[in-house]
């Protein structure tokens, strides 16, 4: 496909999104209906579409664009792409720009955040305008693809060397010692035999850094395990058993495969078994949240989130945290984790726990904001007093 033909495909996918089709499904549907497109074409179209969704407001397409074509034009202009050779009606390219379309959308300071007004206000109130602007700018661009090296099987240098032999270049990620950022041929990574050998897993660098802070001694429980990424990271660091639990067992469907591949010992605790378990030395809880720290990976979510939904998340989070805390034995540790950048889901929940449980005290805390190296994550680690009166 020519570059112009890719833009036509981008417009077609955006058309589907405008009538309510989720971004991933719209891309899948387009791919199924256009099987002539090669893998490089599909990847390029995907990048164009995701960038348009990330930059929807600065493209003049929020809350509603004039058309999918206008949205595509605005997105390309917002990212300083030269349009003349893309809109020339040659080789399935879109028709040439009209005089009205040549003039870029005049974005306001608010528009350049590429966030909803209430989100901008919350971030500015929490972190100040300068920091909020920096966070917003990071969320306008593609997220890095990071690997977590399984140090039970290999070193970062060994992984780098093996991947480079297959023309996959990586660099050391400064956020965590086990993290590598993929800079070329990212789609080849999971096809390499060292992936099947368990030398690495795909995991954001901040997620790895957060996992490094989770106490791993004694009997350890991942209370909201999901796909088990942090369970695997803790087990890889300690070489010990980690117990994994999730209220939705379907989310844990990949844990067994990943555990075998990495050579770890992860034991599943089903929802109907958790109440019969003895208390744990360390419980960590990656609670459901807005996912705002990872909006680059699912950008349509930043346009769908409402303040009412945040309130719902807070209520659910507190229910989960209270239950998880009850599983920590006296003298143990309790870690709360989110992939959020909102203080309402992070520091406010930390303070809720401190007020609710007088025997908890903060022993570690870290807030990672989205950058070119990592997503946005938060962790607070509590020590639970051995003395119930303290």
Quick: pLDDT tens for 82-130: 998 899 999 899 999 998 898 888 889 999 999 999 999 999 999 999 9
Cα angle for residues 375, 22, 376 (degrees, 5° grid): 10
Question: Is there a contact between 367 and 201 (Cβ–Cβ < 8 Å)?
Answer: no
**Topology of 214-384 in CATH?**
Rossmann fold (3.40.50)
Quick: pLDDT tens for 21-79: 999 999 999 999 998 888 899 999 999 999 999 999 999 999 988 899 999 999 999 88
Q: How many CB atoms lie within 10 A of CB 326?
A: 12
Residue 190 has pLDDT above 60, yes or no: yes
d(CA 289, CA 338): 6
- Report pLDDT for 65: 87
Quick one: pLDDT band at residue 389, thresholds 50, 70, 90? low
Question: Is there a contact between 279 and 327 (Cβ–Cβ < 8 Å)?
Answer: yes
Question: Is there a contact between 87 and 96 (Cβ–Cβ < 8 Å)?
Answer: yes
Residue 324, preceding peptide bond in cis (omega within 30° of 0):
no
CATH 3.30.70.1170 fits 145-202, yes or no: yes
Q: What three-state secondary structure class fits 172? A: strand
Quick one: pLDDT band at residue 388, thresholds 50, 70, 90? low
Question: Is there a contact between 220 and 240 (Cβ–Cβ < 8 Å)?
Answer: yes
Residue 234 has pLDDT above 60, yes or no: yes
Question: Is there a contact between 74 and 7 (Cβ–Cβ < 8 Å)?
Answer: no
Contacts of 30 (CB under 8 A, 6+ apart): 9, 12, 13, 16, 45
Phi, psi of 313 (to 5 degrees): -60, -45
In this predicted structure, which of 70-74, 166-170, 327-331, 385-389 has the lowest mean pLDDT? Answer: 385-389
- Report pLDDT for 15: 96
Determine the average pLDDT of the residues in 351-370.
97
Question: Is there a contact between 296 and 371 (Cβ–Cβ < 8 Å)?
Answer: no
Contacts of 372 (CB under 8 A, 6+ apart): 138, 141, 144
- Report pLDDT for 353: 98
Quick one: pLDDT band at residue 292, thresholds 50, 70, 90? very high
Angle (deg, nearest 10), helices 68-78 and 3-18: 120
The residues facing 334 across adjacent strands are: 283, 382
Strand order in the sheet with 145-149: 170-172, 179-182, 145-149, 200-202
CA-wise closest residue to 232 among 199, 262, 274, 268: 262
Average model confidence (pLDDT) across the chain: 95
3-state secondary structure 309-373: HHHHHHHHHHHHHHHHHCCEEEEEEEEEEECCCCCCCCHHHHHHHHHHCCCEEEEEEEEECCCCC
Quick: pLDDT tens for 204-215: 999 999 999 999
The total number of residues shown for the chain amounts to 390
What DSSP element (H or E) covers 283?
Answer: strand 280-286
Question: Is there a contact between 115 and 139 (Cβ–Cβ < 8 Å)?
Answer: yes
Strand order in the sheet with 280-286: 266-269, 242-245, 220-222, 280-286, 328-338, 377-384, 360-368
d(CA 381, CA 350): 9
* Positions of CATH 3.30.70.1170 in the chain: 145-202
Phi-psi bin for 263: left (phi > 0), alpha (psi -120 to 50), beta?
A: left
Q: What dihedral do alpha carbons 324, 340, 367, 315 form, nearest 10°?
A: -40
Produce one character per residue of 288-325: b if its CB has 16 or more CB atoms within 10 Å, e if not.
bbbbbbbbbebbbebbebeeeebeebbeebeebbeebb
Q: Whose structure tokens read 């893309």? A: 86
* Positions of CATH 3.40.50.150 in the chain: 214-384
Phi-psi bin for 152: left (phi > 0), alpha (psi -120 to 50), beta?
A: alpha
d(CA 195, CA 191): 7
Determine the average pLDDT of the residues in 279-300.
97
């Amino acid at each position: 496909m020519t570059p112009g033909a890719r833009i036509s495909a981008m417009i077609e996918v955006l058309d589907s999104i405008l009538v309510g089709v989720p971004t991933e499904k719209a891309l899948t549907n387009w791919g199924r209906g256009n099987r002539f497109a090669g893998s490089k074409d599909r990847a390029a179209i995907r990048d164009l579409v995701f960038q348009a969704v990330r930059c929807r407001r600065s493209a003049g397409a929020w809350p509603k664009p004039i058309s999918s074509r206008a949205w595509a034009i605005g997105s390309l202009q917002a990212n300083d792409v030269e349009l003349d050779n893309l809109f020339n009606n040659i080789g399935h390219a879109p028709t040439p720009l009209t005089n009205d379309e040549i003039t870029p959308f005049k974005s306001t300071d608010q528009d350049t955040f590429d966030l909803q007004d209430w989100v901008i206000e919350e971030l500015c109130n929490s972190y100040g305008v300068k920091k909020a602007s920096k966070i917003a700018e990071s969320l306008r661009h593609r997220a890095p693809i990071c690997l977590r090296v399984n140090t039970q099987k290999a070193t970062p240098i060994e992984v780098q060397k093996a991947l480079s032999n297959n023309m996959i270049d990586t660099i050391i990620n400064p956020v965590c010692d086990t993290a590598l950022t993929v800079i070329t041929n990212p789609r080849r990574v999971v096809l390499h035999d060292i992936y099947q050998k368990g030398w690495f897993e795909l995991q954001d660098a901040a997620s790895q850094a957060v996992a490094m802070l989770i106490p791993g001694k004694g009997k350890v429980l991942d209370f909201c395990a999901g796909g088990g990424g942090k369970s695997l990271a803790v087990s890889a660091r300690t070489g010990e058993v980690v117990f994994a639990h999730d209220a939705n067992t379907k989310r844990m469907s990949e844990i067994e495969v990943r555990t075998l591949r990495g050579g770890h010992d992860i034991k599943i605790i089903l929802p109907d078994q958790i109440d019969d378990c003895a208390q744990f030395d360390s419980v960590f809880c990656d609670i459901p949240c807005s996912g705002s720290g990872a909006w680059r990976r699912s950008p349509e979510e930043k346009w769908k989130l409402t303040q009412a939904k945040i309130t719902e998340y807070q209520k659910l989070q507190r229910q989960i945290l209270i239950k998880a805390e009850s599983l920590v034995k006296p003298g143990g540790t309790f870690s709360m984790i989110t992939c959020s950048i909102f203080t309402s889901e992070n520091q406010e929940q930390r303070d809720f726990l401190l007020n609710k449980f007088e025997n908890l005290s903060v022993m570690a805390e870290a807030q990672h904001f989205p950058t070119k190296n990592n997503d946005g994550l938060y962790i607070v680690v509590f020590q639970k007093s051995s003395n119930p009166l303290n």
